[in-house]
Structure 1
Amino acid sequence: MGTPSKVTSACLRVLEFGISCIILGVLSKFIHALHQGNGSTDSRLIFAISMAAISILFTFILVPPVKYSFYCFPLDFALFICWITCFALLQDLSGTHTCSSYWYDHYWSFYWGSAWKLPAGTVVVTDFGCSQWRVVLAFSFIISFCWLTNGFLSLYVCVEYYNLGYRTVTTVR
């Protein structure tokens, strides 16, 4: 197993860890604000938080570029599928009008900006939390392809260096 594959794998795992922490932090802050305003938590956000926590756990375990971390390529592909599903579910909440959709205005922006604390009849002009929502969307897309890249790298290492792609033929006499 070559040094470039070990370094690339470790760098991708560290990137996955960092992105997972960012997604978990942003969504945790939102859910904290949501519970202060007595709002109900959307199940898609719970799925995204769960995916971030699972990703943190597995990247922490798989960061060392040793043999077992390359044998876990099916896990990399499974987490890619979970993350791309997570991105699709989150994107479907706000649709093509990311920061001007009904869901964003009446759920994310309302609770992120603490609008429930304002007196009745107060009009909020700014968009609260638009950049944070876009960060969650962008990083959930980026992390899915980090998992996919790491899966292909691990599969390549297993086939090339660990002889998973070769069959041995023995003849009996």
Structure 2
Amino acid sequence: MILADLLSIILRLAELAFAAIVAGLNGDYLSSVQDADSWQLGRQIYTEVVAGVCIFFAIVWLFPFSGSFIHWPADFIISVAWFIAFGLLVDWLDGNCGDVFDWDGISFRGTASCSQWKATIAFAFLSAICWLASAILGIYWVRRHTAPVDSGYYRRRRWYRSRV
């Protein structure tokens, strides 16, 4: 199962990197609009909180122990939270910068608001996919390493009885 451990580490590193990118890009936007009403920034605040929680859990669960695979329900819930953040950001963009996945005209020079938002949306989606893959890997690992319980087959032998 070294392959599962290696894949888990790769997924956790990707989750950490994607969450850090989203937190950085989104945090830059939040710091530029400090005087705005918090109700208007609810989507961005939610995305920033999800990114912060994901950074914490990706660091904690990065170490390759077999116990890290049993967290698949939390991985699935975090994946759903990322998909919600993705949907909220896509709805907030509302076609103001063209189609969400239209990457023509993206540049590093000039105003980067559209480029920044499209990158934030893309990395939020990639993070959701990585957390979902981590949950699927956890389900696979748990199913593979749990023995089926059958009342007739697995009986505990008393320690004082002879083997004869």
Give the TM-score band, short-chain normalised. Answer: 0.7 to 0.9
Alignment equivalent of 1:40, drawn from 37, 42, 55 = 37
The alpha carbon displacement at 1:167 in A equals: 2.2
**1:98–1:69: structure 2 CA closer, same or farther, 3 Å change rule?**
farther
Q: Paired residue for 2:151? A: 169
Question: Is 1:129 matched with 2:113?
Answer: yes
C-alpha root-mean-square deviation of aligned residues, in Å?
A: 1.8
Q: Which runs of 4+ in 1 moved over 4 A?
A: none
The amino acid across from 1:170 in the alignment is: G
Q: Paired residue for 2:48? A: 49
The alpha carbon displacement at 1:43 in A equals: 0.3
Q: Which has the higher helix share?
A: 1
Given that 1:99 and 1:127 are in contact with CA atoms closer than 8 Å, whether structure 2 keeps it comes out as no
Distance 1:11 1:48 in 2: 23
Give CA deviations for 1:46-71 in whole Å, capped at 9, x if unaligned: 00000000000110111112121100
Q: Paired residue for 1:11? A: 10
Given that 1:20 and 1:56 are in contact with CA atoms closer than 8 Å, whether structure 2 keeps it comes out as yes
Q: Paired residue for 2:68? A: 69
**1:93–1:60: structure 2 CA closer, same or farther, 3 Å change rule?**
same
The alpha carbon displacement at 1:99 in A equals: 1.1
Seq. identity, %: 25
Q: Paired residue for 1:81? A: 80
Distance 2:119 2:88 in 1: 15
Given that 1:80 and 1:148 are in contact with CA atoms closer than 8 Å, whether structure 2 keeps it comes out as yes
Alignment equivalent of 1:99, drawn from 74, 97, 100 = 97
Distance 2:112 2:12 in 1: 32
Structure 2, unpaired ranges of 5+ = 100-109, 156-164
TM-score normalised over the length of structure 1:
0.76
Distance 1:64 1:168 in 2: 34
Question: Is 1:154 matched with 2:143?
Answer: no
